[in-house]
Chains A and B, each alone.
Chain A
Amino acid sequence: MKKLRRKVYMTAGYNTISLGTGRKEFNPKKPRPGIEHYIKEAGQGVLKQIGGAKNVDESVIGNFMAGRFNKQGHVDGFIPMIDKGLSMKPAVRVEGACASGGLSLVTGIRNILAETSEVVLSLGFEVQNTVKAIYGADILALAGWFQKRKKGHAYFFPGQFSDRAGAYYEKYGYERTRKGMARWYANAIENARLDPTAQEYHNPSPDPYSTALKMKPNGKAFVDHLTVLDCSKVSDAASGITICSEEGLKRIGVDKKDAVEVVGFGHAVRDITSDPTDLTELETIKFAANQALKNAGITIDQVGTVETHDCFSIAGILAVEALGLAAKGEGADYVAEGKTGRNGELPFNTTGGLIGWGHPTGGTGVHQAVTIWQQLTGKAGDAQSEISSDRPYGLTINMGGDDVTVTSIVFKRGK
């Protein structure tokens, strides 16, 4: 991939809370806000920071399955609802399953690079608590190939990643892998407790690591190789961020120091109708993340913080390996040793990731960019990590389906 032909920045991120089980205000029996609320809150949250809708040239909104979760199509039509100033301007909805948010970002980046826009409002959302988990599993299964649905598990995606975890246990050992997965969960909870918008912000567990380690996968109740703590939660949330050129930054009156520069990105898609070549490897993540690093002209040891797509704890461990931080089969140990923790060698998912912060499928990619923007510009509040000058870069990895669609972006603070 060619070097970026002009500078691209992101700034003015905003996250709604991630609502679902775990949040004190969540009550499945009471009515909850719909998609309109989330789109509006995230959109307006961004617009307030950039001088209003008049400064926006166009919008991109990522969403996976509003058509079924909310029985609503034509999602780009909600953009002008955020602010009248967005009316009669271009807006597009993008979908790539759980990478829809990432697609919203790379679409915005491309529009800046194409010079068709100087300021893009990028949003992502999903409102999933409209159905029970057993039906939500059907909807999320559409991120896989429908022809495989019949033979799949009732909880289709947990079933897919359970197979990956099972293959990993068999190849590299059950106990050590479970330790890595339990540590992944504990990190997620501990980080989420530092971000007031996170779904696990209220989690009171005194020892999440032991809780996760004690819980054993039970195929009769759920899937064979994962527990519920290995899985991201069902979430309602939206995130938004501004993508802009240097000229755009000036227009919205944001200092470069308060923005992050996109120094490279990767985007790859694997054939959805084929099975993964190796269950213990995330090949598309490996490809796209390395593409992003190469595009940025950096190596992983220059990265100070990573937001990776841990829809399941095993996916977090496999991403560690895909990034070359640990050899194949040693990612679990790397995590178990605390190296991905907030005080570890390379902090991952500093506001909880998908397991801790939440996983509003179509919004996750944008949420990851917001977190990196917060971390690199010192706006992460209690969740702030120290970003050292020799590792100034941030990296996101957003995955759709079972390693089918992946976007990955490298950021550094603007100057």
Chain B
Amino acid sequence: MTYDERLQNVSVLGAAGKMGSGILLLTAVEMADRSLLPENKGKTFVLNAIDVSDEGLAGLMNYLRVQVRKIAEKKTVWLRKMYADREDLIENFDIIDEYIFDVMNIVRPTTAMGAAHGSTLVFEAVNENRALKVKLFTQIKQNNNKDVWFFTNTSSVPIHLIDEEAGLDGKVIGFHFYNPPAVQRLVELIRTVNTKDEVVEFAYSYAKNLRKIVVPSNDFAGFIGNGQFMRDGLYGIGEAQRLSKEKKMPLYKTIYMINKITQEYLIRPMGIFQLMDYVGIDVMQFILNVMNPFVKDEDLQNDLLDKMMEQGVKGGQYSSGAQKDGFLKYEKGKPVAVWDVEKQQYAAIDSFKAECDALLGNLPDSAVAWKSTLRMKNKEEVFTHFFDDLKAMSTMGSQIAINYGKRSKAIGEKLVSDNVANNVDDVNTVMLTGFFHAFGPINNYFD
């Protein structure tokens, strides 16, 4: 079966979800683009958008229409060539509208799982629940008489377990997009010892056509991205708890401080608590629960996360993409308050910011904002200068930051020594492209 033949009938499970909708969009566009090629004229391409929620599917179609227009507007030069033989399509307006129709015309929204029984490729983006994933794949495998391949977007469940439990015979691969899939360029690709070479080959072609950066990860729970991030997050929580105890300060103040240090001192796009909110405290719990049984020398959990869940403060995002409140409360996307687990209410940052900032001390003059580093050409030189200055200081902020940098490095190195990642570059690439860090965790800045 050729690449195009494999793509002629595809199903996405959980298509209306946060990840599923992005995967559906990218796949629909890729399929439509293939269908426009001269050699594929007249062939039918079908993409089943399967989800349990009718409401979600209706929203998905609206999302698709808006997003496909944006995509079409960016490649009109190419589209004009593809529709050169259509005399009725003259203006860019006409061509873009036709393309939107052609993409939408491939997509079949449905709540019926049976639609996947005729597919040659099934993409799974349902909840991070191993039993559910296995159940769905098993069901499809049993009812599908095609040579069907399975792609799972899991960010933590070992792929070989899904393979074995669903009886997929190596025709499965982990294809882990980052959120949001339509924007984020990173994909973690996880094959098992059993995964067929042709599945891997196809996955690479597909990723390349989607213009994704592929980082192969070995099949350990959490893979590289969550392997690094979960531990980094737990360390951040631990630091806030330690500081709270040592300084006899309420936890919400030290959460603010650690969040500030991880953002401003470590030159990250957001602080660690904001990132945990972005991912969702519930999702983080889910992933930790999946990972924990597989790690022997660590206990990946924290009582603060349990407490937050009990109190119903979970972060995550609204379907509009707006940030829900979690550790932090947001106004227009910016943190304005911190959750006080004792009083179960938010404490306004303005009311304690000055006190905490004074404790942390000033940043050196060589400090740079994350945003300013985006197009910086001499990053290494600038970072070395800044971190050297930081190391020479004895403020509380600088000490915590240096230790944080060291810890991040140790986490990254352990991913390599544990054979989760094949090498240092892969760990750094994941954090640079998937988490938009300004520098990889494995570096010499903090030594």
The residues of A with any CB-CB pair to B shorter than 8 Å are 132, 134-135, 137-138, 141, 146, 149-150, 153-155, 220
Contacts and interface: CB of A to CB of B under 8 A. Distances in A.
Contacts of A149: 90-91
A148 to B, nearest CB: 10
Given A135-B92, A155-B77, 6 more contacts: A132-B73, A134-B73, A150-B90, A154-B76, A154-B92, A220-B77
B96 interface: yes
A138 B92 contact: yes
B80 interface: yes
Interface string B81-92: 000000100111
For the complex of A and B, list the 9 residue pairs with the smallest distance between their C-beta atoms, beginning with the closest.
A138-B91, A154-B76, A154-B77, A134-B73, A138-B92, A150-B90, A154-B80, A134-B92, A149-B90
A153 B78 CA distance: 10
A142 to B, nearest CB: 9
Contacts of B96: 134
A134 B76 contact: yes
A138 B90 CA distance: 9
Nearest to B96: A134
B318 interface: no
A149 B93 CA distance: 12
B91 A141 contact: yes
Contacts of B92: 134-135, 137-138, 154
Contacts of A154: 76-77, 79-80, 92
Nearest to B91: A138
A135 B93 contact: yes
Contact of A153 (B77, B79, B90): B77
A132 B77 CA distance: 15
Contacts of B93: 135, 138
B77 to A, nearest CB: 5
A137 B73 CA distance: 12
Interface SS of chain B: helix
B211 to A, nearest CB: 14
A348 to B, nearest CB: 32
26 contacts: A132-B73, A134-B73, A134-B76, A134-B92, A134-B96, A135-B92, A135-B93, A137-B92, A138-B91, A138-B92, A138-B93, A141-B91, A146-B90, A149-B90, A149-B91, A150-B87, A150-B90, A153-B77, A153-B80, A154-B76, A154-B77, A154-B79, A154-B80, A154-B92, A155-B77, A220-B77
Contacts of B80: 153-154
A149 B87 CA distance: 11
Nearest to A136: B92
A220 to B, nearest CB: 8
Contacts of B91: 138, 141, 149
Contacts of A220: 77
Contacts of A155: 77
A220 B96 CA distance: 18
Contacts of A141: 91
A156 to B, nearest CB: 9
A80 to B, nearest CB: 33
Contacts of A132: 73
Nearest to A220: B77
A135 B96 CA distance: 10
Contacts of B73: 132, 134
Contacts of B76: 134, 154
Contacts of B79: 154
A141 to B, nearest CB: 7
Interface string B56-100: 000000000000000001001101100000010011110010000
Nearest to A147: B90
A134 B87 CA distance: 20
Contacts of A150: 87, 90
Interface centre among B90, B91, B96 (most CB of A within 10 A): B91
A137 B77 CA distance: 12
A152 to B, nearest CB: 9
A106 B276 CA distance: 66
Nearest to A131: B93
A279 B76 CA distance: 26
A220 B79 CA distance: 12
Interface in B321-355: none
Nearest to B83: A150
Contacts of B87: 150
Contacts of A135: 92-93
Interface string B240-263: 000000000000000000000000
A141 B80 CA distance: 15
Interface centre among A135, A149, A154, A220 (most CB of B within 10 A): A154
Nearest to A138: B91
Nearest to B73: A134
A329 to B, nearest CB: 30
Interface in B205-260: none
A224 to B, nearest CB: 11
Nearest to A68: B93
Contacts of A146: 90
Nearest to A132: B73
A135 to B, nearest CB: 6
Nearest to A223: B77
Nearest to B95: A154
Nearest to B94: A138
B268 to A, nearest CB: 27
A132 B93 CA distance: 11
Contacts of A138: 91-93
A312 B23 CA distance: 41
A68 to B, nearest CB: 10
A157 to B, nearest CB: 13
A150 to B, nearest CB: 5
A232 to B, nearest CB: 19
A150 B95 CA distance: 10
A134 B90 CA distance: 13
A132 B76 CA distance: 13
Contacts of A137: 92
B80 to A, nearest CB: 5
Nearest to B77: A154
B391 to A, nearest CB: 34
A135 B92 CA distance: 6
Nearest to B80: A154
A137 B90 CA distance: 12
A138 B96 CA distance: 12
A363 to B, nearest CB: 24
Contacts of A134: 73, 76, 92, 96
Interface in B85-133: 87, 90-93, 96
Interface in B23-77: 73, 76-77
A132 B70 CA distance: 11
A155 B74 CA distance: 12
Interface centre among B80, B92, B93 (most CB of A within 10 A): B92
Nearest to A153: B77
Nearest to A222: B77
A150 B73 CA distance: 17
A210 to B, nearest CB: 16
A317 B77 CA distance: 27
B100 to A, nearest CB: 13
B434 to A, nearest CB: 26
